Chains A and B, each alone.
Chain A
């Protein structure tokens, strides 16, 4: 048996005084917790984003290549009216939408199987199987597709005997590769969302006479919708800003990211690049605003 010594009176140190102050002043505790992260995110991120918006209204001196800080709407007008920008915006939007649709269509059966059908052991194996490709470098996976889709690649070798041929490099290759790259990001939130749907609800629906499809439509889908939307935010947003995949497998096609990239680098026109970058920002914010009420943002 141990005997309990009386607790000694705490020494009056500064740390102790601070601790006493903090435990009696919750607001001070909150301020202490929030200061550093908000300082970081505010300064590094919000200020940078706002200044990006501001830069879009500046211009570049064509002789010196220096940025002149006089206000002008030229960049915005160029981006809004230029046929190049309209075409590329529509193309990028189309690619992002198709990639998202493909990924959700592929992810739903897998996530459902993982969450509701597989045994716990199988479930763990499948989670690892979905996670492992995430750790292979993004670039290497895009490059792997370049090799799969090339004229003497494995796809041509596989389908040529049946009279098929590889799509080669271009927009279809870009869509395939992007869908491949973001698939795990879509599977994981949907799987997590479906796992939270209690089995008892599915059984109750069955006991009340609903067959498989009505149960899926009226019970599972509404409960899993926020998670599905969370998944689409990833695939949509990641596709919207991508410019490296399209460089690797997209042939000569350009996406919005490429236009931004060339204007930052080779053309050295940061104001125009900022103006182009506003297009995906507006689209993403519009999308986030649309889905805000579904609770999708808590599922990211």
Chain B
């Protein structure tokens, strides 16, 4: 099949238009963060830096960021450990129930967030009698973050094969030494990529979070949800959004560099 010049151009134009439209709402948020109007009026009646100043002095916003970072870091660490273990098990062994386990891993993201949310809410409150807290959020987040680590690590393991590990064992290294010096270094970039995704997933999660967060726990998405409809706070939400997108360029850049160096090595 050889695409004509015309269809190549058409495809390119369609792609450009759709991706262009994707960025329009984000640009509207950027402009609104400088707007003097608090009610999303377009075009903005005037411009001000007031919201940017207030956002960086808002105690609630800063505290919410710190809560979100804590939750995301801990649940990412848990999911890194569990995800690596389970991908090693599923990739290196054939056993009864393997397909059921791989379905079990994707279930927390294949089922709507509200199901995970209400199931865990019911589990903690009614069944276990545990009060909701920051830890119930961490447990919930780690559960659905496992899959992103799993996907990255198992893809890497598939490509690696077992030759190097066997060589290491033949040369006298034990199970631990082989993992530490042979397997782990080869998994490192896959773990970083999976961990970044897990962090992002946890940082932005709102539905499961509303069902599992204790009353005093305000993650950034909960803060945004609480303040979005308050006219005096809405532009601050826009500022937070712009900052988040700007900061996110760093992990995207790292992830791209990682996959770029992968491709060169192949």
| CB pair A48 B8 closer than 8 Å | no
* Nearest CB of B to A154, in Å: 4
* Chain A count of residues within 8 A CB distance of the other chain: 104
- Taking CB as reference atom, which chain A residue is nearest B81? A36
| CB pair A137 B151 closer than 8 Å | no
Known: A10-B172, A16-B174. A280 touches B241 (CB 8 A): no
- Taking CB as reference atom, which chain B residue is nearest A258? B114
Known: A109-B14, A261-B114. A41 touches B228 (CB 8 A): no
Contact residues in B for A277 (Cβ distance below 8 Å): 114-115, 118-119
Measured in the bound complex, the distance between the Cα atoms of B244 and A81 in whole Å is 45
| CB pair B29 A144 closer than 8 Å | yes
- Total A-B Cβ pairs within 8 A: 278
Contact of B104 among A41, A116, A127, A143 (CB under 8 A): A41
* Nearest CB of B to A134, in Å: 7
Which A residues, 231 to 286, have Cβ-Cβ distances below 8 Å to chain B?
Answer: 233-234, 237-238, 240-244, 248, 256-257, 260-261, 264, 270, 273-274, 277, 280-281, 284
Instruction: Specify the main secondary structure of chain B where it touches its partner.
Output: helix
| CB pair A124 B211 closer than 8 Å | no
Known: A34-B89, A113-B14, A135-B244. A45 touches B143 (CB 8 A): yes
| CB pair A146 B118 closer than 8 Å | no
For residue B169, CB closer than 8 A to chain A, the reply is: yes
| CB pair B224 A139 closer than 8 Å | yes
* Chain B count of residues within 8 A CB distance of the other chain: 94
| CB pair B11 A264 closer than 8 Å | no
* Nearest CB of A to B121, in Å: 6
For residue B162, CB closer than 8 A to chain A, the reply is: no
| CB pair B12 A212 closer than 8 Å | no
* Nearest CB of A to B182, in Å: 14
Known: A33-B89, A40-B143, A140-B237. A147 touches B1 (CB 8 A): no
| CB pair A136 B28 closer than 8 Å | no
- Taking CB as reference atom, which chain B residue is nearest A13? B174
Which B residues, 181 to 207, have Cβ-Cβ distances below 8 Å to chain A?
Answer: 200, 204, 206-207
For residue B131, CB closer than 8 A to chain A, the reply is: no
For residue B167, CB closer than 8 A to chain A, the reply is: no
Contact of B93 among A30, A67, A140, A212 (CB under 8 A): A30
| CB pair A280 B174 closer than 8 Å | no
| CB pair A55 B126 closer than 8 Å | yes
Interface string of A17-53 (1 = CB under 8 A from B): 0111011001001100110111011001111110110
Measured in the bound complex, the distance between the Cα atoms of B9 and A113 in whole Å is 10
| CB pair B28 A154 closer than 8 Å | yes
Known: A128-B256, A139-B224, A147-B28. A40 touches B244 (CB 8 A): no
Measured in the bound complex, the distance between the Cα atoms of B244 and A109 in whole Å is 29
* Nearest CB of B to A164, in Å: 15
For the complex with contacts A133-B26, A210-B1, 7 further pairs of A-B residues with Cβ separation under 8 Å are: A10-B172, A15-B174, A40-B143, A47-B123, A134-B200, A137-B221, A243-B114
Residues of B near any A CB (own CB < 8 A): 1-4, 7-8, 11-12, 14-15, 18-19, 22-26, 28-29, 32, 39-43, 81-83, 85-86, 88-89, 93, 95, 101-116, 118-123, 125-127, 139, 142-143, 146-147, 151, 169, 172, 174-177, 200, 204, 206-207, 211, 220-221, 224-225, 228, 237-238, 240-241, 244-245, 248-249, 251-252, 255-256, 260
Residues of A near any B CB (own CB < 8 A): 7, 10, 15-16, 18-20, 22-23, 26, 29-30, 33-34, 36-38, 40-41, 44-49, 51-52, 55, 67, 106, 109-110, 112-114, 116-118, 124, 126-141, 143-148, 150, 152-154, 156-157, 180, 183, 202-203, 205-206, 210-212, 215-216, 219, 233-234, 237-238, 240-244, 248, 256-257, 260-261, 264, 270, 273-274, 277, 280-281, 284, 288, 297, 300
A selection of 17 A-B contacts at a CB cut-off of 8 Å is: A16-B174, A18-B175, A48-B123, A51-B123, A52-B119, A109-B11, A110-B15, A112-B11, A128-B252, A135-B204, A137-B220, A139-B206, A147-B40, A148-B24, A277-B114, A288-B110, A300-B109
